[in-house]
Chains A and B, each alone.
Chain A
Amino acid sequence: MADTDTTAQVPVTVLTGYLGAGKTTLLNRILSENHGRRFAVVINEFGELGVDNDLVVDADEEVFEMNNGCICCTVRGDLIRIIGGLMRRKGRFDGIIVETTGLADPAPVAQTFFVDEDVKRATRLDAIVTVVDAKHLPARLKDSSEAQEQIAFADIIVLNKMDLVAPAEADEVERMIKAINPYAEIRRSTKSDVPLDAVIGRDAFNLARILEREPEFLSGEDHHEHDSEVNSVSFEVSRPIDAERFNAWISRLLQEKGQDLLRTKGILHYAGDRRRFAFQAVHMIADGDYIGEAKEGDPRRSKIVFIGRDLNRPQLRRGFEACQVDA
């Protein structure tokens, strides 16, 4: 007789957002809705939860640098410890929700799920959900790099407090969000009233779904005034990618510019391979694997997306284009 399977990975949702944006309201809504799912919730010390039937863990955010001496290569030590403890009793919950403090940089949380071998084995990052205040976001984006980072890292943005803004204001806020991160899905809400399925179980970090969303790029994106230093660029090429050239280019790029590159995602068609290669990185920490073959007749175009600071568009374009096999 063999031991039972203990390998199923528990999904983790990361909830970020400025204090007062409606993050705790959303969390309370998720926990109190009658959905039959049980969550373990990791909150920061300032959190206030009105629900006590789920497993709530109160933690101080402990951001640890990794030993490579780089300031962007960080993990959340408290999460490694807490997930290690939770994973010994997997049957008790269906998912984990990690709430970050209002000023938190989401990178250490995300990187924890790529870096720590135990966390990687036991859990998978489901999505980063950022709650923003439609009224106050423009001011926040001007004065805070954390607010920009929380948008840049998001897979789903809950654009909250819609009752406090006029339609034109809301459209302008969406434009600002898309200028930073056109790949995030925006859900407008009042009092954080988004359906549970919109934020939980999204599987946004699954390599196979990494560029599933086709963003509506803003027309004339290169010409409008930048509201923030964080931006995104994307490139598509039509000739197959030379794996060696790409690896050399991307490793050097992440090494040199990783501190400014918040998120990188790509789908690549390597020469002589029918399968697609999916790639993602948070700062310098990368992850990649083959996903299914492209559909018969689909164009075999490769695509890469960068979200970050001080992106040198022509240089990145030339770099990616040079990864193609010779014409």
Chain B
Amino acid sequence: MTRERIVAKPRLLVPQTAGFVYCPGCHEPLVAKAIAEVLDELEMGDSAVGVFDIGCSSFLLGILDIDSVLGPHGRPPDMATAIKHIYPNNVVFTVQGDGGLLSIGADPLMGALARAEKITIIMINNAVYGTTGGQMAPTSLAGQKTTTTPGGRDVSKHGFPVHAAEMIATFKGTAYSVRCAVNNPYNYGQTRECLKTAFAKQMRGVGLSFVEVLSACPSNWHLSPADALRWIEEGLMLEFPLGEFKNVDKIE
């Protein structure tokens, strides 16, 4: 009888012998798993270079079994740009928080978009600064209570939530821009497909590819993991609809 591998622990995950760093109910490990599965499936594990940000995505340094780089907060698109120019045949991607990409990292993001860098940016939208204890992020919802908006985000004072996937889609040099989630098995499967498309666009040299993932942060939302799942659907998804905002095979 021949045996076929149908399901198994993804090969590109580092065994977590010293305990698991993510909070219970956090969705980031699911994003890590999806990345590991997709890289393995595309046989890109040997060529992949991941650039992670200061923030909860920095934990990926100890989770994804690929060559990895961690540098200053907000700067992964710059580092990924250089690595991609030096190794154009490698798949080079970043994983960053919403604060890291859209606030402190707006300069490298704009730079990479303007130059149409052939890199993939993966953004974890958890509507807060997770690592530093739940402050307002550019993605925090109107009315959302955070440690720096104790009375709720007042859009007349604090501005409005930033829609990264829609914004990035408006750039000429963007090949692919999508928002997905990992809150149920169907969406998880979709996220895997989005990651595959994003890496493929990069390797075909079409342009910059962007994947935003809605991601639960029960610790800073002060919700149980189950309630956090509910808030993704009843809160986040109303402001941030899932979907593809750009998908082109050629930019002229």
Q: Do A and B bind each other?
A: no
Residues of A that sit less than 8 Å from B by CB? none
Residues of B that sit less than 8 Å from A by CB? none
